[in-house]
Structure 1
């Protein structure tokens, strides 16, 4: 590992050492008048390759940095109505001014050609038409093909491997991070270009003061006022009758924007997550969270396969959302945003598993689930984002009425399981930045209150056969009375608050921000368990569930006064931001029911730093490091037994201290993006070490698969290092975008099982390749491939080596104008030793486009081979087991769909 780090740092600093050649100066005409927007390029003599480039500003000034091993380079200057000039210069730092001679340009024929990719400052613009194919209809269809940009399966957009921090349409942030709806439903024909705003600081008053390492996406529409949207209505043949409806009208104006979205289907398309927050903006804007339940209690859950969701999702979903933005002042500085969504979803899932433990014991179980989701969310946001001040207040409310069901069969026994889980959640986030002379004052406040109620029932209770630690060296088993019902009740009230104030001083590119803050959180946990246990065998026990040992009445409080100093620097080449916080942690866990009282008082220093250097126009190099502390939460402090799952009880020893985790991490990154030759790549390396004071020590009954989870007071570590490389290039001549990627991750963690301490080591390697081509007028192709190899070593040596191969091939043929024939092939293979399972899926489609009305008529046959189950092997390092899984899939189905644009 040390060799890898040394090699990477050697390459990193070698590149920096060659990146010190800078040429700057001023470009003027014959009269000495500055020439703006002149291009200055540096090339190696005799080679038609641009090393670096710059554009002069309004004063005619330029500055260009480059890297070359040649003793001399060519510097070329071009400007409209000026005679181009070329001068060979030495490979050294220097200042050069140029006077250009006027030269009238005779335009014989005017042809407007849009460049595929253009760059200006920190903005890279992509012409959407250069990357789309005849089969593409929405923005998301095309975004996946743009070099340097990826779209994950959950809809998250990545630029150069990192998530974006904002998603704008015509410069406005309507969706506040939940951009999946627009990305999936905005017609590509409404879009002029996609802009990537590199190093984007969304808070205007902080621009040029507080740098950012994240990029943003701005969708520039063809018209400043646009009424558009996308709709689909489909029906299909299957069991049951199938439907798919999508209606998403949109309006984007200069003063207001809105999107209304209704989607419903039962044919396996996951639309309910479109409203999830995928971009979280800047921490100066306050806090943004995806409201979620505290899911402590769970039924046994069937596995999901590593395939596209549409292959296995048995759903019946209705999702309705509305987003509205309007300016409420004449200067268009103040914005009001109102967002709301409602989800009603029912999902079925089924699997079969064979788990083989290292001692040869095999446990067979199957699970059939029904998951019911019923939730509503509303949000109101007031924002002022101007050069002279910032204000943002976000108020949101969420309500869940969820329920889960399971029928589980384990070693011939059947259990009916259910969880009811209503939850109420409220958040308010406020942040304001006020200019004060040459300084800035920032106040932030965040309040979150949540009330979770959950009830888990298992019937009959004797389905469970849970191991139990009778004494230090004796293990028994709990047997429940036949026909009885086991019930675990749970309630958790959570209050989190965070308040801070800071003042910023700026001078010569540096910004210093001292801050004081006060964080407070309080959790109140109440639980109890009902059940009837009976003795059966001599080794079994008969616990009394009415004792305090099976109840919790715990209050967990955290008080954290804190102080920090932020340091930021921004120049043409360098970006630096660092924070040096000191936290005064005061934590208490009190349970009067059993006389338990724990406390922790500790002062921690948790610095973090990021530095980025931009050089030679196309290169960026960065390093980062941080230390963080986590002192656990109420989920790791309760002392009464809780049945979190029907597979076994969880308990914390009252004598154990409050959990503590200290994580140290560091990383480096080299990035290259050249819009002149359409080449993008990045190399990342990171390592981390997490030190904990508590070690999980489960008691496993390998004959049944049930467990008792407990913890030891013992220092343990979890270490990992990761290397990733991605290279992408667009070939305009062949209308082809291709990329390759590689990742290598090694993790080592301490583990404990069956009174034996050991280490789990996991090494995984991944290889990826993506290609899309629209060269032929009669065909387009999209191909994604990934190969993975995972090796796990545990206490008994090598647990196994898993290999996985996935690919997706999408072919579209256009034999006649307005007619499209599609073929889709998903392949998922898994291999473990001599066990190999191949899972192919095929779809075919035919589409007729009524071009004049922009309406498509499609008939699609999915899962042509009617593959009903998915088979795979995987490794379980925690329990030293190999698991074979067979999962129920969607059957073959045929859909007829009408697709159209709104206007």
Structure 2
């Protein structure tokens, strides 16, 4: 593996180093006055292809780096009201100064033609009109067609395969990372252009001092004050009666912005995740997290298919959110943001499965058949208040949030295994309260910067899992001959976390050094008990099924941050030394474990820009993890009715050492609309404990851990290339990935090695060339091969094919006919399953009022189940999942203004 990395790096840097030349100088007019904003391009003679480009600054200075195998290249200079200049120059480093002759630029017509993609420095701007089709209505609809940008179903955005770190509207960050609502609901007609801010450092005090490799998105609206928004109201025929309502008014002003959002439906559209934090900004802004429950206890869950959610989600959801931003001082440096959302969701799910387990040294071959019917109930609320000052001479940000969950899940299971057939009712109640406060401030001190950060998090999880009747469990070795009516697993987790740090930054000649000291503390109290109900009275199963554990981690640390940035290089590294002090106290078993260890955990990122359009980067890090409370409890805990988990009391605290390294080559050329990236990643995790699950003849799993060094090695590479063809109005991209993982494992006390290789190839394109038709198409082919090597070797492979076709036809003005086709095929061993879904729609647009009337027929073939076949390490399984039936919806869609 090391040889592979070395070879890769040699090729990588050979490409970078090959024939890189730099031409720099100054452009002036005939009188010697500097000409700003003049374009300087380098081309190979006789070829209409730009190798590199640059734009002069306010002093008329330029710098262009290029790569070419030719002995000479053409240098071209263009500027407004100046005569274009072309000169052939040798392929070498040189400094050239040019004087341009005045020449009036004639404007033949009063008509401005905007370029579809323009670049200035680290900002790439896309004209939205160049990419939209007649059927597009929202910002997300159009952004999916922009080269180099991907948009997921929840509205999250990837640029060159990586998540963005900020989402602005007219330069303001209203949503604080939860931008899915705007992306999915902002009308495209309100947007002038989309700007990608590469290498974006969101903290103004740190710009030019602390570099960033992440990109941000800025949505520039046509008007500085905009009242807009999007709405839909729909009803439909099906069982039950269907509805879909979306109301999202928005206001974007110079001093304040707000978005109010209410969405409800029972027709399979997942809208409740739009408020999730998708962009986390910069570490100097503090820490914000998506609050979530510690779901330790679960009912048995029906399977979900590898399909778009709308094909199988039986939901009844109400989602309400509000976001508000205002400046609270005259200089417009201080901002107050208030965000709140509420979700009420009920989901029904059903599946049937048959699992055939292979014979082992402990158990003969056996089969399990299960039919599971679930009802999941989500009820949660969140409120957040944020004060921010982001100015060149000071930074302050305090974010306070509170979340409350009142979730509950139900399951009815019909189960047949090697010993019996039985049914069971399962229910879980899981209220959770969560509070976070994050503070970060940067104070200028002479030529230095002092940063102080504090993060506090408290969460209380209470969970109760009931199984009725108790005989459903059928685990005689744990419940021998006890006349029990029902079983209840009780659990409470109280978690307190505090992170405090202070650093000071020194800057000189592009370098910034940031020594830092900090203290991280986390304490988790776990209490659990398994009880049985006999004649209406509760009895415990004893200490072996109880936990009273306190797990604490205290880590004082010191580190030095090293940052450098110039026109070509960007380097940042952190060199921390951590004093890890971990303690697990279990008074029930009179056990106290501890680890006191000093660790060195450096990380490094280096990026080099060359030939104007290329970026090459390397990264690597070493980290250590000493487990959490979920790897330290010794009393048996029924995390689900299908299994019991425990860690042996004599086992030490887990110690995991992780090493990873990666390389990336990126190309983005807005002049010819071409983008591509190549990535390689390698990681090695060394652990001192390994899980040893035991599966009995009824298919129940008991999970314990044994002390043994083991490794998990992952490696993978991927590539993606995309290009926009303006002549054909087509955006196309190809992608490929190959990932391999290798890990040590145990099953029923038998050791073996798992190896898994997955490959996928994808193609995506959209076309708006014809005035009467537009097409969006995506397809992927995947192959997975799994091998287990041990006392008995086994192997299995699986292939899959997925595609989605969306075609829209415009036979008459304001009339649209749409066709959508989802296809998912799977193949394993000699079993093949083909799952196709078809939708048809008709839309009439009242153009004067900008209102759409849509009639849509979904799942025309009325396919009611999804079937799949899998071969795994321990078993072969067949699964059949209930889907949404055919349904018809009539919807009215409109903009608020």
Which TM class, normalised by the smaller chain length?
Answer: over 0.9
Q: 1:826 aligns with which of 810, 822, 827?
A: 822
1:808-846, CA deviations, whole angstroms, 9 ceiling, x for partnerless residues? 000000000000000000000110011000000000000
List aligned pairs for 1:600-749, cutoff 5 A. Answer: 600-701=595-696, 703-749=697-743
Q: Is the 8 A contact 2:30 2:100 kept in 1?
A: yes
What secondary structure, in the 3-state scheme, does the structure 1 residue paired with 2:9 have? helix
User: Which position in structure 2 is the counterpart of 1:470?
Assistant: none
- Counterparts of 1:222-233 in structure 2 under 5 Å? 222-233=222-233
Q: Secondary structure at the match of 2:214?
A: coil
The range that moved more, 105-114 or 81-90, is 105-114
The answer to whether 1:405 aligns with 2:410 is yes
What is the 5 A alignment of 1:265-664?
265-359=265-359, 360-411=365-416, 412-466=421-475, 476=477, 478-479=479-480, 481=482, 484-531=485-532, 545-664=540-659
Cα deviation, 1:128-155, whole Å, max 9, x if unaligned, reads 1111111110011111111000112343
Q: Distance in 2 between matches of 1:242 and 1:669?
A: 48
Q: Which moved more, 1:812-821 or 1:81-90?
A: 81-90
| 1:15 CA displacement | 1.3
| Residue 777 of structure 2 corresponds to residue 783 of structure 1 | yes
Partner of 1:902: 896
In 2, the alpha carbon distance for the partners of 1:229 and 1:105 equals: 41
> Which of residues 857, 863, 866 is equivalent to 2:859?
863
Partner residue of 1:844 out of 822, 827, 840: 840
Q: Helix, strand or coil: the match of 1:290? A: coil
How far did residue 532 of structure 1 move?
7.0
Matched residue SS, 2:475: strand
**How many angstroms does 1:901 deviate by?**
0.2
Structure 2 length-normalised TM: 0.97
CA contact (8 A) 2:787 2:795 kept: yes
Asked if the contact 1:465/1:477 (under 8 Å) is kept, the reply is: no
CA distance in 2 between counterparts of 1:441 and 1:366 reads 60
Task: Please list, as runs of the form range in 1=range in 2, the aligned pairs for 1:880-891 lying within 5 A after superposition.
Answer: 880-891=874-885
Take 1:480 and 1:303, find their aligned partners in 2: how far apart are those partners? 33
Alignment check: 8 A CA contact 2:326 2:335 kept: yes
SS at structure 2 position matched to 1:640: coil
Q: Cα offset for 1:478?
A: 3.7
Alignment partner, residue 87 of structure 2: 87
Quote how far apart the aligned CAs of 1:798 are.
4.0
| Structure 1 residue 466, shift from structure 2 partner | 2.9
The equivalent of 2:115 in structure 1 is: 115
Matches of 1:440 and 1:717, distance apart in 2: 42
SS at match of 1:531: strand
Aligned to 2:217: 217
Report the Cα distance in structure 1 between the residues aligned to 2:773 and 2:484, rounded to whole angstroms: 63
User: CA RMSD, aligned part only?
Assistant: 1.3
C-alpha deviation, 1:110, in angstroms: 3.3
**Is the 2:838–2:861 Cα contact (8 Å) retained in structure 1?**
yes
Q: Say whether the 8 Å CA contact 2:123–2:197 is kept in structure 1.
A: yes
Whole-angstrom distance in 2 between the partners of 1:288 and 1:876: 38
Matches within 5 A, 1:15-26: 15-18=15-18, 20-26=20-26
Measured in 2, the distance between the counterparts of 1:882 and 1:2 equals 36
Question: 1:14: how far off?
Answer: 1.4
Deviates more, 1:758-767 or 1:12-21: 12-21
What per-residue deviation string (whole Å, max 9, x for no partner) do you get for residues 20-77 of structure 1? 3111111111111110000000000111100000000000000000000011111111
Q: Does 1:750 align with 2:744?
A: yes
Equivalent residue, structure 1, for 2:362: none
Which deviations, in whole Å up to 9, do the C-alpha atoms of 1:709-755 show, x marking residues without a partner?
10011111100101000000000000000000000000001000122
Higher mean C-alpha displacement, 12-21 vs 158-167: 12-21
CA distance in structure 1 between the aligned counterparts of 2:71 and 2:163, rounded to whole angstroms: 40
Task: Report if aligned partners of 2:484, 2:533 keep a CA contact under 8 Å in 1.
Answer: no
Superposed CA deviations along residues 585-618 of structure 1, whole A, max 9, x for unmatched, are 1011111122111101000010000000001110
Q: Unaligned 5+ residue runs, structure 1?
A: 468-475, 534-543
What is the rounded CA distance, in whole Å, between the counterparts of 2:810 and 2:33 in structure 1?
Answer: 55
TM-score where L is the length of structure 1: 0.97
Separation in 1, partners of 2:804, 2:570: 39
Structure 1 contact 19–615 (Cα < 8 Å) conserved: no
For residues 116 and 520 of structure 1, the distance between their equivalents in structure 2, rounded to whole angstroms, comes to 51
* Alignment-derived partner of residue 130 in structure 2: 130
Q: CA deviation at 1:103?
A: 1.5
Equivalent residues, number: 883
Checking the alignment, whether the CA contact within 8 Å between 1:481 and 1:532 is kept in structure 2 is: no
What is the SS of the residue equivalent to 1:899?
strand
